[in-house]
Amino acid sequence: MSMGHAAQQANPFLTAPIGRLFLSNAVPMAVVMSMGGILTVVDGIFVGRFIGPDALAAISLAFPVVMVLSALTTLAGGGMSSLMARHLGAGERMRAGRVFAGAHGLALAISVALALLWAMIGPALVQSMAADNADVAELAEDYLRIVILGASAQLILGLHADALRNEGRAGLVAALSVLVNLFNIGANWLAIVVLGLGISGSALGAVAAQALGLALVLGVRARSRKLLPLSGLLKHSWLDAWSRIVRLGLPLCLSFIGIAVVASAVMLSLRLHAGADYAVLIAAYGVVTRLLGFAFLPQMAIALATQSIAGNNAGAGLHDRARAGLWLALGAAFLWCLSVVLVGIFAGAPLGGWFSKDPAVIDAIAKILRPMMGLYASSGPILVLALYFQALGQPGRTAALTLVKPWLLTPVIILTLSAAFGVHGIWFAFPMADAVILLLAAVIGYKALRSAAAQASKVENPA
């Protein structure tokens, strides 16, 4: 028996029942992602209630930049995951190790580039985004300076979490995530509430928690013989596979940057049309982005579980198992998004009360959420389908499902409706964009699955 075949036989992604496999990967990843979302919500409560409305507005202004950083983390980790899962599924651990090492080099290059870019244009960019509000600009600059200088910890921690997930250690990732996020919440409480460090305390707590998480995952990998060894990071070149990682990670990366583009379009429209309500609406929109960010993370967990299952099984030629995992994930994502819709429509005001004592901000949060929930239930299944295509090495289809809405549809509709109907038009742009992308997803998914069925029929019934 060859080493590759033996590795395949030991790979639970290829042998475990699909239902159990999906749950064993999706549930731990949902815990991981939800803990990150809870951290974001709790941090927002600390900032809004213990620092003040200006700090909440500063966090809102920083949101597009933070999303770009998350996008770059996804660029390295997502592209690496697509390659690594297929290599591990095929029993090619050496090739997986080369990709892992190359992703580390890419992550460090990104972190250095971010620091240089911040030094050149960061303060001026923040001043422009703050619309000459010096207090808010100063707070946002303090926050972003710490986050960007500590970006290397976030980027490399993301690589190791993605690697562990693709090596079948989703449960371990979940346990470490709970520990690290609880530490982060405690650190933020200490820095903001006890020490009075203000918005800088929020950023310092996050960087400290990421550094702790990185130390823990390195310790786990150093002690395990079943995981890709840390020695491979010294053995293989850190310049390997950059182009392939970027090509496969770019669609999802750009979709995250697209979220920042959408947020920027909303802020521009509010600046043009909100008038005296600008400060209230910016603070309310910042809360909404945190709430929807929390809601997005379990969707992402389901999609990442799909990516690992599909990638490993496609790499081993088990396409029926990959598609079975897809159908389970589509159903789970829809049910989660439907629950989010119900909460968003009926519980917007109570949720807003967690973040602010200002009745105007609370009312604005509820009014923003209701129209945005129109077709939100479709967003999770579309994300699952996109990462399924990424796992199969089809970045074109992934790009179509993840980039068209944030880069084209939503910003254009936001600017158009806000010009025609004022502030209220902004929030109705979201379900309109969802409707268009749902139709596109239905067409792409139908064609792809019909093509796969035709190929399977040819294999079973050769001419």
Cα–Cα distance, 225 to 232 (Å, whole number):
12
Task: Tell me what pLDDT residue 344 has.
Answer: 94
Provide the residue type at 369 as one letter: L
Cα–Cα distance, 82 to 387 (Å, whole number):
9
Q: Return the percentage of the chain with pLDDT > 70, whole number.
A: 95
Q: Return the percentage of the chain with pLDDT > 90, whole number.
A: 40
| 455 pLDDT more than 70 | no
pLDDT band at 461 (very low <50, low <70, confident <90, very high): low
Closest CA to 287 of 56, 66, 133: 56
For 371-382, what is each residue's pLDDT tens digit?
999 999 999 999
Please count the other Cβ atoms lying within 10 Å of the Cβ belonging to residue 407. Answer: 17
Average pLDDT over residues 223-234: 89
Lowest-pLDDT range, 32-46, 284-298, 305-319? 32-46
The residue assigned the tokens 């999706």 is 26
Average pLDDT over residues 262-285: 88
For 164-216, what is each residue's pLDDT tens digit?
988 888 778 888 888 888 899 999 999 998 988 888 999 999 899 999 999 99
Average pLDDT over residues 114-138: 84
Average pLDDT over residues 452-462: 59
Average pLDDT over residues 268-288: 87
For 61-104, what is each residue's pLDDT tens digit?
887 888 888 889 988 888 898 888 888 878 888 999 999 999 99
Task: Tell me what pLDDT residue 7 has.
Answer: 47
pLDDT band at 362 (very low <50, low <70, confident <90, very high): very high
Task: Tell me what pLDDT residue 101 has.
Answer: 94
pLDDT band at 3 (very low <50, low <70, confident <90, very high): very low
